[in-house]
Structure 1
């Protein structure tokens, strides 16, 4: 019998007996575009991004929204770090109801559009506020569309995260990182057999070694500025030592024991828009409390020591311009800050 698994998107994957974890990548393909070709044109104030700080896939959207300065255009609702088999919930809000959508569970927005929706209730999701209906949960396209379709509303000085002349290389690198790293840690953690785990483990660390070599001589993954590729890798690296190393048995070595990757991760963490979105407390609560098949006691570890994230990284010597000809984003808006004591 196929065993269902949920990662922190609340999604869907499955493990055949004695086999490997397979992610369900069938998302709602509707897109919000400048020309509105899918029936959802880009409009200021119309949509709400629903995310969770615990989730690396949703964390991407939180970062890109910050970097591009879309906070006043695209509101954001945050779910708590845990969910049940039904849905993510708005348990961080007063009355445990989203103050804009007026719903207690994200599934309500999915069912408003698709009453018989049977797939995972995932974050990130963008909801059409006037109708209360989910528009899309296609997380790879969400961030790309924020960069390419929402340009009318980008802040002055916003970086170009998906420059046209680098898109082929960004896509190529991002696909390798997704296959072996972003999703690779889950293939380790949810493996259904020793051989499946061993294979996923070997692919993960072979790719991390490849990234270590690549980042030894260059500051960013593609080109000399931050791009979508860096956003996608960072959210996995930010969770590696706190969660994946122990919880998912990705334990050949820690991130902090790989000099180039550790310096690269600290460089991004200390860049406005990245580290100020990371909530280590919620990250650990989610993984260790939700994945009861892996951690049946639900005990959340106290470590690791996070002070290293703020140590000098020395990556400036490699050159590069984090925001190209642009500028860093301002500090997070009031109410969107990571709670005190939850960061590094």
Structure 2
């Protein structure tokens, strides 16, 4: 906690990068690395979406942690025996300690692990997805979208920075505020940013340019969690997402686009927040609602033009073993 009860996120991540030229000692190599995620986590959900949109399933394997964790680590309790089948570890912390036996910080997802050594390479979630778009291009599927086009990068970065500061992290600053003053400041800042986005998206289908970019992916994972979690659990309750017409239509447009809704697990999302955050929800009761069927209702955003994948094509069906379980989405 920062001064005056403000929530202060530690952003000092492992900054090693996996690049085409291997300048940090980790060159892009098919089959060498494993992306470890949890569907519940919005930062990890970004990586799941980007990997799927770019068609990297055959070159970058994926491991799913369960929706909850203890003080020590995310765990692989969804796998038989509670052990990741590739890394052969029960806890993600084991891969962090392989890199640094005295690793002092939180064990976070997403993380990319070097399979031969079993050590984490990076957990820098913001840079990680950009590198999947720009450093792994030799292995993108045919028709993969350009999620970080060179000519739009400055604008994407500018929009994404406010999204991160005021919205992605803003909901946490509301939920974990340690004083009334800090909470109200975070609340006002959050909804000012959501109003700004509503104005921006009123006459354009996507945040930057005419197709989906990294900026849209970064916003979507917070919007998907807004009504199930942030509105009540984090006291972000000026409006529900469903009460913000432009953002609600925009979110449904993305949700119905391959790669977005089919990677969103509402059951795990609710389990994570309501079970893990015992200081906020000490009785650990997980709410039944809200009704999610309306995520599949018509959105009308096609009338604004643009194309989800630009000159590219949609990804194919979700791979066996990577599908959101029946009943966990909006089905």
Give the TM-score of the pair, scaled to structure 1: 0.95
RMSD: 0.6
Partner Cα separation in structure 2 for residue 195 and residue 120 of structure 1: 27
2:79 is aligned to 93
Partner deviation per Cα, 1:18-75 (whole Å, 9 max, x = no partner) = 4100000000000000000000000000000000000000000000000000001000
SS in 1 for 2:37: strand
Instruction: Please state whether the residue corresponding to 2:5 is helix, strand or coil.
Output: coil
- Mapping 1:86-235, distance limit 5 Å: 86-235=72-221
Measure, in 1, the Cα distance between the counterparts of 2:5 and 2:63.
36
In 1, the alpha carbon distance for the partners of 2:177 and 2:317 equals 40
1:267 paired with 2:253, answer: yes
Question: 1:4 corresponds to which residue?
Answer: none
Give the CA deviation at 1:322: 0.5
> Where does residue 6 of structure 1 map in the other structure?
none
Q: Does 1:241 align with 2:227?
A: yes
Q: 2:64 aligns with which of 62, 78, 101?
A: 78
- 1:251 to 2:237 alignment: yes
Aligned counterpart in structure 2 of residue 307 of structure 1, from 293, 316, 319: 293
- The answer for the alignment partner of 1:12 in structure 2 is none
Which of these residues, 327, 331, 342, is aligned with residue 313 of structure 2?
327
**SS at structure 2 position matched to 1:130:** coil
In 1: Cα distance, 2:179 partner to 2:117 partner: 45
| Number of the residue aligned with 1:38 | 24
For residues 105 and 87 of structure 1, the distance between their equivalents in structure 2, rounded to whole angstroms, comes to 6
Match of 1:76, SS state, is: strand
Which secondary structure does the structure 1 equivalent of 2:197 belong to?
helix
Inter-partner Cα distance in structure 2 for 1:47 and 1:246: 38
- Alignment of 1:298 onto 2:254: no
Aligned position for 1:8: none
Unaligned stretches of 5+ in structure 2? none
Cα deviation code 1:252-310 (max 9, x no counterpart): 00000111100000000000000000000000000000000000000000000001100
Q: Residues 217 and 318 of structure 1 are in contact (CA less than 8 Å); yes or no, is this contact kept in structure 2? A: yes
Cα distance in 1 for partners of 2:84, 2:4 equals 41
Alignment partners' CA distance in 2, 1:17 and 1:166: 37
Separation in 1 of the partners of 2:281 and 2:10?
Answer: 23
- Cα distance between partner residues in 2 of 1:95 and 1:19: 41
Equivalent-residue separation in structure 1 for 2:282 and 2:3 (angstroms): 20
What is the deviation of 1:16?
Answer: 4.0
Measure how far apart 1:111 and its partner are: 0.2
